[in-house]
Amino acid sequence: MQKISKLGVLTSGGDAPGMNPCIRAVVRTGIYSGLNVVGIRKGYQGLIENDMYDMNPRSVSNILNLGGTILKTARCLPFRTDEGMETAYQNLKEQGIDALVVIGGDGTFTGALRFSKKYPDIKVMGVPGTIDNDLYGSTYTLGFDTATNTVVEAIDKIRDTADAHDRLFFIEVMGRDSGAIALRAGVCCGAEAILLPEKATAIDDLIENLRAGQHNKKSSSIVIVAEGDKNGGVYDIARRVQNEIKVYDIKVTILGHLQRGGSPSAFDRVLGSRLGYAAVKALLNGHTQKMVGLQANNIKITTLEEALTQHEFKLEQDLMEMADILSI
């Protein structure tokens, strides 16, 4: 087993609440375990530009409550090239770094796996940090809980004005090809309909459901649309419904990037701390090219290959069925 002595930590791709608690746990667990810890700014771009600095326990003081990431993040196209990876590798060797904790989503893990296969002497451990909650190997990813709570708070406020004006609101939420945020927020907020990438919903069926709500004397309706829904963009969906239902005053709200920001929830602070701690311990125990995740409230280790290629991550069937029943 090759021992590690100097650990680098980076955040890459989209930011997610909970990344800072994870960075904090990585830094302090690494130092407690006798490692030197280096922060890498702006993800893989920092590897290529050699933008790194030594961290100590005080480097991560008072960051548990902060959204975003103190290490910054970026999407780095040069890292996808052999030349970019070679530059990153040489910078790591120059710094004496022999292990990396990478915090991010599937794009981050794709780069980490390719890099580690090309340069196996650099040990790599992934931490799932994405509000989309779409990585195999962890029931929850960093940021998902906070983002869902942010959406729920926003929709509760929109419901107030929808009731006051007898309006039908179409609300688009993030998640890319995952409907995890949309589904949970829809159940929490009593949405009349939830359009998900994982479940085909015909516009005709949606219109029929909304008309049934009118018949049941609903004074307002909320339709949540996951951004990856196959019916097209939220504005197009709203227009098609407006052509068929004239009673409601229809409005569209795209919540956008506010879902990524804000102070992480208690759940994400604990999750980030657990995963950061577990990532360092896994590296010290000889693991590499793997990801730490949470399953059945226990830390589990999954290979990066599995995390990226397994397609068993599905939304809970009972939640989807329940959402339809409770919306009548």
Type of residue at 187: V
What lies within 8 Å, CB to CB, of 126 at 6+ separation is 101, 102, 103, 104, 108, 109, 112, 279, 290, 291, 292, 304, 307
Element (DSSP H or E) covering residue 257 = none
Give the E-state strand segments of 94-192 in sequence order: 99-104, 123-128, 167-173
What lies within 8 Å, CB to CB, of 237 at 6+ separation is 170, 195, 203, 206, 223, 225, 229, 231
CA distance 66 to 260: 12
CA distance 74 to 265: 24
The candidate with the shortest Cα–Cα distance to 23, out of 35, 6, 13, 11, is: 11
Tokens of 326: 């409770």
- Yes or no: say if 20 and 272 are a contact pair by the CB < 8 Å rule: yes
Q: Within 10 A of 307 (CB to CB), how many other CB atoms are there?
A: 23
Question: What is the Cβ-side half-sphere exposure of residue 1, based on CA atoms within 13 angstroms?
Answer: 10
Crossing angle (nearest 10°) for helices 317-326 and 180-189:
40
Catalytic residue set? 132
Crossing angle (nearest 10°) for helices 106-118 and 82-95:
70
Report CA torsion sign: 104, 109, 115, 120.
Answer: positive
